Structure 1
Amino acid sequence: MIENDTDAAVAAAAKAGDEAAFSGLVERHRRELQVHCYRMLGSYDEAEDQVQETFLRAWRRRETYQAKASFRAWLYRIATNACLDFLDATTRKLPTLDLPVAEDSDLAPRPAVAVPWLQPYPDHLLESVADKDGEPDAVAVARETIELAFLAAIQHLPVRTRAVLILRDVLGWSAKEAASLLETTPASVNSALQRGRTELKEHLPARRAEWRPATAASADERAIVRRYMTAVVECDEDALAELLRDDVRCSHQAGAGGWMGPDPAWYGGLAEVLEGWAPALRGPDALDFAMRLTSANGQHAVASYIRWPSEGREFHAFALDVLSIMDGKVAEVVNFVPGVFPSFGLPMTLPADAERVG
């Protein structure tokens, strides 16, 4: 239901064709709709496109809005269908990976980069949603994790099963509401939900009995990340060895290029990870790094910049690393291409005299 008379009047004006009223109303829900589309699609860029598509469809079909339902729920209906239409028209293929981990591991069976289209989500864009404590749009973020492990896991679900699971378990919609949106029956929704929950467990860490909401990072974790950044900048392999778990895993997306190569890669174990990083840290070809702290998907993240020591010029965007801190050490590093920097408000270059750790 519309929450108050003022909202009802604005919704009525929007339905009647008042563009200013319509824009003001839909903008209230932009970020939570973007998060919803992001869960459906796994891509920050594609989510933003589908939010725009949602607003266009909503304006064109504004006469279909019925005041007996909330404007917010109406927008979610449109956004979900926009995502479903996009996915129906898009060919996507998940690669087959052979990456065994211990049955009780903290890490997911497959690294996040096993989903080629996955992009990180900037935490600063979540603040305007999560700060609305007690409001429905805050629940869309707070009730369910937006960690990379979860986002990657749900991409393995069939499209409509994914939609059911997000509507029911993340947004808290009833089976009847979800069935109405998806034009099916409550029984079908409940059946899809059970299948989705079962399949999802196969792609989440074994120890993760429940999806837990993101929590504020501790001062100890921030200190670990700072030490990690300093160790990389100083090419200090001994310091890195102390900061990484014995079963640490590192992975990077396709298209990274440079010393990491153009193809996706994933490798695990302390010795193997350090050896994989060695070309950037050792010898005459070791890189000059500059690091900037940020956060993504409720996790610590580090933006790295590089330059060749012989050049001495400005630093260029290299990668965005999303870190998982467990048991006081870095357990996983997920590396994304620098094309994601603009969404985080990060520059693509830093001056030659920039602070190396910031």
Structure 2
Amino acid sequence: MERARTDLLSRARGGDGEAFRALTEPHRRELQVHCYRMFGSFQDAEDALQDTLLSAWRGLSGFDGRASIRTWLYRIATNRCLSALRAAKRRPAKEWDIPGVEPPEPTRLGEVAWLEPYPDALLDGAIAVPLGPEARYEQAESISLAFVTALQALPPRQLAVLILRDVLGFPAAEVAGMLDTTVESVKSALKRARAGLPRRRPTVTEPAPAAGSPAEDALVARFVSAYETADIAALVTLLTDDAFMSMPPLPFEYEGREVVGHFCASLFGAGRRFDLVPTRANGQPAFGAYLRTPGGVRHGTGLYVLTLTGDRICGMSRFENSVFPAFGLPRSLPDR
């Protein structure tokens, strides 16, 4: 195995693109997820991944082999993300633009509006990777929307350290090497990051049913039935008392069963009805919502991601239809 890897490395250094891909492809998906945790943006993560692979290709002659290829790639990816985060200007929150819908007054305006979901179809081989002994988070938890949202509140350096140490379990010495700093600095940044990580919404008080289990299928089926028939009473009974709804990139956030129900009722106003197409995002049930029209064509309006706790829904996140392509969802559906 080691001899084969050495041969690939030698060929890659000689300009063999296929050998380079053989070295890097096993780490491609996990690196993309790493970049996604850093940015909270699927598109930004994909851009950072491409920059990482290009930098690795160009800098392969400088790889001395003292660290593993995986660690070396994480070093490049993390520093690419840090440079981008430091250079990025804060994007203004988007204004309400859903025609014909007057939203209720939000509970609050969220600070992390520019967030995108991550397709489960791309998670294969990305989160089932060996973690270091110091990892503190389960793989499923570490990709959840609530966790990724909470990460975005941290300063870039603290964000990187917390992901590398607590999510991936890299030793402090390796993280220090990746970030060109000292072990003491890494420990200090990790302490501040843990203290500064905000309380996550929605609040999950019981484990969610397993993906694809009869319990999850039953809960999801009840949600689809209530939503597609605009049955607000049935929808509200599925929510926890402190159910939470966010709407990236709109800053509107709603908290409380009745408040979330009131918002959903505003979407169903003027006889608007929707069909839901199932998918999965961030390890959670998700749906493309398609507005029925008199002409029969159904237009995609947004993507909903559900957070489950026990046999209830404690969170709903609505994203714009611009995320549809990443999930293989069409912008519109023909008449049934």
Q: Which range, TM-score by smaller chain? A: 0.7 to 0.9
**Contact preservation (8 Å) 1:245, 1:329:** yes
- Secondary structure of residue in 2 paired with 1:173: coil
- Counterpart of 2:187 (choices 185, 190, 198) is 190
Paired position in structure 1 for 2:20: 22
**Contact preservation (8 Å) 1:11, 1:21:** yes
Paired position in structure 2 for 1:38: 36
What is the letter of the counterpart of residue 230 of structure 2? C
- Counterpart of 1:264 (choices 246, 251, 254) is 251
**Contact preservation (8 Å) 2:203, 2:314:** no
Matched, 1:349 2:332: yes
Matched, 1:296 2:281: yes
- Secondary structure of residue in 1 paired with 2:280: strand
Which digits, 9 at most, give the CA deviation of each residue in 1:244-269, with x for residues without a partner?
A: 22322222124xxxxxxxx4311222
Which digits, 9 at most, give the CA deviation of each residue in 1:304-351, with x for residues without a partner?
A: 11133xx22311111111111123111111111111111111111111
Paired position in structure 1 for 2:54: 56
Paired position in structure 1 for 2:302: 319
Matched, 1:121 2:118: yes
Paired position in structure 2 for 1:147: 144
Paired position in structure 2 for 1:157: 154
- Counterpart of 2:199 (choices 203, 206, 221) is 203
**Contact preservation (8 Å) 1:111, 1:251:** no
Matched, 1:246 2:241: yes
Which digits, 9 at most, give the CA deviation of each residue in 1:293-312, with x for residues without a partner?
A: 1111111111111133xx22
The CA deviation at 1:230 is 1.4
TM normalised by structure 2 equals 0.86
* Partner Cα distance (2:162, 2:308) in 1: 27
- Counterpart of 2:263 (choices 267, 273, 276) is 276
Which digits, 9 at most, give the CA deviation of each residue in 1:48-78, with x for residues without a partner?
A: 0000000111111110111232111111111
The CA deviation at 1:130 is 4.2
* Partner Cα distance (2:164, 2:236) in 1: 42
Shift of the 53–168 alpha-carbon distance from structure 1 to 2, 3 Å rule, reads: same
What is the letter of the counterpart of residue 270 of structure 1? R
What is the letter of the counterpart of residue 215 of structure 2? D
**Contact preservation (8 Å) 1:244, 1:331:** yes
- Counterpart of 2:318 (choices 335, 345, 356) is 335
What is the letter of the counterpart of residue 203 of structure 1? R
Paired position in structure 2 for 1:86: 84
Matched, 1:181 2:178: yes
Which of the pair has the greater relative contact order for Cα pairs under 8 Å at 6+ separation?
2
Question: How many residues of Structure 1 are paired with residues of Structure 2 in the alignment?
Answer: 319
Any stretches of 5+ residues in structure 1 without a counterpart? Answer: 96-109, 255-262, 354-358
**Contact preservation (8 Å) 1:250, 1:273:** yes
TM normalised by structure 1 equals 0.81
The CA deviation at 1:143 is 7.7
What is the letter of the counterpart of residue 252 of structure 1? M
What is the letter of the counterpart of residue 23 of structure 1? R
The CA deviation at 1:128 is 2.9
* Partner Cα distance (1:77, 1:24) in 2: 19
Any stretches of 5+ residues in structure 2 without a counterpart? Answer: 94-106
The CA deviation at 1:198 is 0.9
- Secondary structure of residue in 2 paired with 1:28: helix
* Partner Cα distance (2:138, 2:6) in 1: 25
**Contact preservation (8 Å) 1:165, 1:196:** yes
What is the letter of the counterpart of residue 232 of structure 2? E
Matched, 1:168 2:151: no
The CA deviation at 1:203 is 3.0
* Partner Cα distance (1:7, 1:330) in 2: 47
The CA deviation at 1:111 is 9.0
**Contact preservation (8 Å) 1:301, 1:321:** yes
**Contact preservation (8 Å) 2:303, 2:321:** yes
**Contact preservation (8 Å) 2:40, 2:148:** yes
**Contact preservation (8 Å) 1:94, 1:114:** no
Q: Which moved more, 1:183-192 or 1:286-295?
A: 286-295
**Contact preservation (8 Å) 1:250, 1:334:** yes
Percentage identity across paired residues of the two chains: 42
